[in-house]
Amino acid sequence: MSGVANAAAFAAIVAVGLVLHATGGAHSILAWRVTLVLIAAGSALTALAMLWLDRRRG
């Protein structure tokens, strides 16, 4: 996975989380939790992709 593809995937995950939050209402605890989980998942996937690229290169 290239850096550009990885960044696009992360942005898509964050965007989905923000849309869920926006449609759930400003006070929806569930929407906040889903948003945070999706952002954390995107961050974890980014970290794993970087580790995979480092191992692949060397």
Q: Where are the domains of the chain?
A: 3-57
- Angle, CA of 50, 12 and 46, to the nearest 5°: 10
Predicted confidence (pLDDT) at residue 26 exceeds the cutoff of 70: no
Q: What is the pTM of this model?
A: 0.51
Residue bearing the bigger pLDDT, 51 or 10: 51
The percent of residues in the chain predicted with pLDDT above 70, rounded, is: 81
3-state secondary structure of 26: coil
Is the separation of the CB atoms in 25 and 31 below 8 Å? Answer: yes
